[in-house]
Structure 1
Amino acid sequence: MRIATALCLLAAISGAVGCAAIPANRPIAEAVTPLDHLPALRGDYFRFDSVETGRPYHIYVRYPEGYDPSAARLYPTVYLTDGDSLFPILAANHLFLTYDDRLPEAIVVGIAYGGFDPSVNRRNIDFATVPHNGSPAGAPAFQAFLKTELLPEIERRYRSDPAQRVLFGQSLGGAFVLYSAVSDPDLFRGRIASNPSLIVGMEPLLESAAASRTDLGLVVVSGTRDRPDRLEAIGRWQAAWEPRTDKPWRLDIYSLEGGTHAANAPDAYRLGMNRLFGPDASP
């Protein structure tokens, strides 16, 4: 928007026509083009200051196509960690999954920090299941933020179905998905871990709390072109869990041929959502 405004000013100075200047007394918020003009991302935004983590988050919400806040219909709701990068990609792509894969429409929630700078972006703390490089293991506090603060707020504001929550995470966010799956299985009906990064340790991820639900699903997707140490670590986690008969969720593990660590997140999302909501979704 600053670039567009600067171009308008230059055009006005040079005598060009056809560029509508922003009135000097117009509020800054009104000068920002809302996502409502991108229909695949139509929705809402609010800032949330968490007591549990002591940090603010920027919450972006994508509405399902045809969403009516006054209607009785409730929607599955997908929560995306790393919303700074994943929300604009996966939230928009969900529309195509409803077109091509006949998946149900969903509310998609992006949990963003507002920047990539480490002074703002604290994913190294929030998603950490074990201390690493001087950072504390902040996964318990981040999960408390989800459980006691964000999820109730989303379900208060929107037509969100508490029984159909999904959590998606990539890399460190994927490790947090696994932590959530073992520490509080019932919190989300479905979870998708894309290339979870477990190289700093997986001890907290090898034992699970009991679940009361019988319809829970956990999908883990790894790209074959991810780093060997990452693939080796998730392979050890898989070897520990696959033979167990006490798993609180149905476990599905996919190897994405040619997939890299981050660029194939949409493929992991598609695989996971189809496993959770597609024709073969029943546990």
Structure 2
Amino acid sequence: MFKKYFLLFVTLLGITTSALAQQTNKQFVLNNTEIIPIHSKITGRDHELVVVYPSSYKTNPTKKYPVLYYLDAYWDTPLLVSTYGNLIYDNQVPEFIMVGLSYPSTADYGKERRIDYTFTAVDEKSGKANLFLDFIQKEVAPLVEAQYRGEKTDRVIAGNSLGGLLTLIAAYQAPGFFSGYIALSPAVEWDKQALVKVDSHYAKKHKALNGRMFISYGTTEYPAFRDPIIDFQKQLAARKYQGLELLNYAMEGLDHTGIKGDGYVRGLIWVWKPKKPAGPSGLERDMTSAK
């Protein structure tokens, strides 16, 4: 009898302890963020926007901010939130709103991004970048600028891999809409390097390609993926387009996704270099005030 009640007591204790743990343990939440569902009439599909507000957003209700439109938000939002905070503390970039392009949590991200981020069709589930760029220009940006105080004249687009490919094609297919481009390990090899052909065709008719552009790759990436990026960097630099401020960058010893940390830091500094705030870094301010 004692054994039976003892076992019952232990079981109840376990349940109680588990229940308390569920009540008291909290999940880590990213502050100043909001997920906005949006159905696109242009793509015909459901999307989500992950909006990250600067810390002064609520205390400056009339202020407008530059906007970073970044791809693959379902993966890269935590990294970019942290990166943004570090750069703000170091006084390297101005305050800006981040708008991450995402999909509902039930979506297959790999399939969705392949549809939206590629500009030539190799099968029925690719090649819709023109529609996705229209979605950003005609549905997302107007919403952000009308309701969330985004600037109309200072937009930056950023992405990695296929997201980097879309970032670069945006310079050719949406000229003048973005002022900055951050392409991390862009998939230049897509469809037999179709991007190279786009640039070659563009160069025959245009002498200008406006914007500040950052293109990077990791030196240990798979050569068949890496080498086309290197060749495209050289081709673009040789064009000497008017209005293009280009920074080509190689990240020693890093592979395809490991480049994101350093890449976003350097890319954001580069595209907003003309708007770098005056004054000391946070560390200098802290150390000076402590004396």
Distance 1:11 1:159, change over 3 A: farther
Distance 1:127 1:59, change over 3 A: same
- How many angstroms apart in 1 are the aligned matches of 2:114 and 2:68? 22
Distance 1:159 1:14, change over 3 A: same
Residue 235 (structure 1) aligns with:
230
* Partner residue of 1:245 out of 234, 237, 240: 240
**1:99 is aligned to 2:86:** no
**1:1-283 correspondence runs (5 A):** 14-16=15-17, 18=20, 37-39=29-31, 42-68=32-58, 71-115=61-105, 118=108, 121-200=111-190, 201=193, 202=195, 203-206=197-200, 207=202, 216-278=211-273
- How many angstroms apart in 2 are the aligned matches of 1:175 and 1:132? 15
Q: Which moved more, 1:205-214 or 1:232-241?
A: 205-214
Q: Which amino acid aligns with 2:97?
A: I
Aligned-partner SS, 2:176: helix
Q: How far off its partner does 1:68 sit?
A: 2.1
Q: How far off its partner does 1:123 sit?
A: 0.7
Q: Normalising to structure 2: TM-score of the pair?
A: 0.78
Q: Which amino acid aligns with 1:75?
A: Y
> Greater helix share, 1 or 2?
2
Say which structure, 1 or 2, has more relative contact order (CA 8 Å, 6+ apart): 2
Q: How far off its partner does 1:223 sit?
A: 1.1
Distance 1:210 1:91, change over 3 A: farther
Deviations 1:3-22 (A, max 9, x none): xxxxxxx989834474676x
- How many angstroms apart in 2 are the aligned matches of 1:171 and 1:20? 39
Q: Which amino acid aligns with 1:222?
A: Y
Deviations 1:88-122 (A, max 9, x none): 21123201111124311211111112348648841
- How many angstroms apart in 2 are the aligned matches of 1:161 and 1:213? 21
- Unmatched tracts of structure 1, length 5 or more: 1-9, 22-31
Q: How far off its partner does 1:85 sit?
A: 0.2
Q: Which amino acid aligns with 1:38?
A: L
Q: How far off its partner does 1:177 sit?
A: 0.5
Q: Normalising to structure 1: TM-score of the pair?
A: 0.80
Q: Which amino acid aligns with 2:96?
A: A
Q: Which amino acid aligns with 1:260?
A: D
- How many angstroms apart in 1 are the aligned matches of 2:91 and 2:60? 27
Deviations 1:43-82 (A, max 9, x none): 2221010111111111111110121276222111111111
Distance 1:20 1:178, change over 3 A: closer
Q: Which amino acid aligns with 2:236?
A: W
- How many angstroms apart in 1 are the aligned matches of 2:15 and 2:59? 47
How many residues of Structure 1 are paired with residues of Structure 2 in the alignment?
258
- How many angstroms apart in 1 are the aligned matches of 2:274 and 2:56? 23
- How many angstroms apart in 1 are the aligned matches of 2:151 and 2:209? 15
Deviations 1:196-246 (A, max 9, x none): 0111222234426869996x2111111111111122211222232211133
Deviations 1:106-162 (A, max 9, x none): 111111123486488411111112222543311100100000000101111212111
Contact 1:170 1:194 in 2 (8 A): yes
Q: Which amino acid aligns with 2:174?
A: D
Distance 1:242 1:11, change over 3 A: farther
